Each structure stands twice: as structure tokens, then as C-alpha cells.
Structure 1
Amino acid sequence: MKRRDAREKAFQTLFSIDSQGFNPQDALTQVLEDEEASPFLSVLVQGVYDNHKEIDQKITENLEKWSIERLPTVEKTLLRIATYEMFYEVDTPIGVAINEAVELAHLYGDDKSGKFINGVLSKMTH
């Protein structure tokens, strides 16, 4: 599984955890169906799940005129994944983490999602 595919599956998994209250393993099983989870996918899902309070704090510190509670689930989930990739144990260049989150925002969000995500994540790097 390519990292881009793993990120998309991680997004789908974490989205279902956040919006429907699934536990990580059940959500991952449902998203993957019969596919095997790559180590990168497992690290992303478990890492975001285990560290979501600290990740949400980092996101909150970089939001302007928004609160984490008011963010749509798509944007919140993508910000969590990218923040985890940028600041935790995953070996991903910051620019790649931001670009991948923006690309997924174009697929799953609305017209402004990519720009919003890019702005928040770019602010974290300064």
C-alpha cells in the first residue's frame, strides 16, 4: 500500500471514529474490508487516536477565529493526520505532510478546505 493510499484509508478510519464513535480496530477493519493494513496506516491511525488531545491542542493554538469543536469533521481529521505526521514519530517531510493533507481536502472537503488546511498547517511551521 502506497503512503498516499494509507493516508486516505487513515482519513476514512479516523473520520468514522470521530463521527460514529467506532473504536480504532473496528473502524480500520471496516475501511479495509479484506485488505491488509500497512504498518504506516496502522501507525497513523493509532498515533492520531492515542495523541488526539495533544494534537488538538497544537491545532487550536494555530486556528484563527475558529475552535476545534466548530471545525467540520473532514478538516479536523485531515489536520490531525498532518499534525501527527509533522510532529510525531513518522518520518515524513513537513512539506509532504502539508501537501498530502491539502490533496485529500480537495477530494473530501469543499472548495475552501485545501486553502484552510494549508494555512493552519503552514502556521504551525513558523
Structure 2
Amino acid sequence: MGRREQREQIFKLLFRVEFNQKEEMPEQCALFFEDEENGIPEKDIAYIQGKFDKIQEKLPEIDEMINTTARGWTTSRMGKVDLTIIRLAVYEIKFDEEVPDSVAINEAVELAKKFGQDESSGFVNGVLARFV
């Protein structure tokens, strides 16, 4: 599984945070990895779980960054898909030394095209451009 596919799986897992309490997330993660529809190879589970855990740990800090950087928008006003994509990208930009900023933004825009609404890619790009 390539990095793009791993990132997509992390996005899908991170999206569940919007609908579940923090205490429920270990069970949600187990269900996510058991779901054959996701088809995640055993060797990729540790990477995906590890990165998800790091992002979830930093969510309050990431949300604060988004709220202070995105002009005219707060996390509570953003669509859940767009917010999840932005959270993932902000984590990669600010905390993940392995991912270049331009790659994080490009991958976020691609996720927005695939999972978001028509305007999502432009919105995500605009918000993330303010972080670099």
C-alpha cells in the first residue's frame, strides 16, 4: 500500500472522530481494521494506527491552529469531510517531518476532490495555504 492509500485510510479513520466519543475510538479502530471493505494489509495497520493516534492526541492543538488561521471560518462551521482533511494536512505540515508541506497540501486537495463537495478542493487549498 502506497502513502496515498495509507493517507486515505487515515482520513477514513480520522473521520470517525466526528461521530464517536474519544473513549469509543479504540473499538472504532478495531472495527475499522476488521472491515474487509477497507482491505488494509497487516503490514500497513501499524503505520495507519500510529499516525491516527498521533493526530488524535494533537486534535485540540490542531483545531486551535485552524481556528486562528482560517479567516472567517472555525472548525465548528466547516463541513466534516473538509475539516477532517484539513486536520490531517495540518498535522502533516506542522508535526510530521517526513511529509513536505507541498505534498501535504497536494494530497489534501486530492482527498477533497475524491471525498468532498465540488468546492471542497479550493476551500481546503485556501485554508492550508495560510499554514505555509
Compute the TM-score of the two structures, normalised by the length of structure 2: 0.85
Structure 2: give runs of 5+ residues left out of the alignment: none
- Asked if 1:51 corresponds to 2:36, the answer is no
Q: Give the secondary structure class of the aligned counterpart of 2:76.
A: helix
For 1:100-111, list aligned pairs within 5 A. 100-111=107-118
Asked if 1:16 is matched to 2:9, the reply is: no
* Alignment root-mean-square deviation, CA: 1.7
Any conservation in 2 of the 1:105–1:114 contact (CA below 8 Å)? yes
Q: Which stretch has the larger CA shift, 62-71 or 38-47? A: 38-47
Question: Can you list the C-alpha shifts for 1:29-61, whole angstroms capped at 9, x where unaligned?
Answer: 222226334443123211110000110111112
| TM-score normalised by L of structure 1 | 0.88
Note the 1:42-81 alignment, pairs <5 A: 42-81=49-88
Mapping for residues 22-41 of structure 1, pairs under 5 Å: 23-33=24-34, 35=40, 36=42, 37-41=44-48
Does the alignment pair 1:118 with 2:125?
yes
1:13 partner SS: helix
Aligned residue pairs: how many?
125
Check 1:58–1:99 CA distance in 2 against 1; reply closer, same or farther (3 A cut): same
What is the CA distance between 1:68 and its match in structure 2? 1.0
Contact 2:105 2:125 in 1 (8 A): yes
Q: Is the deviation greater in 36-45 or in 50-59?
A: 36-45
For residues 85 and 40 of structure 1, what CA distance do their matches in structure 2 show? 14
Percent identical pairs in the alignment equals: 33
Structure 2: distance between partners of 1:59 and 1:51:
12
Moved more, 8-17 or 33-42: 33-42
Q: Which has the larger radius of gyration?
A: 2
1:24 touches 1:45 (CA, 8 Å); kept in 2? no
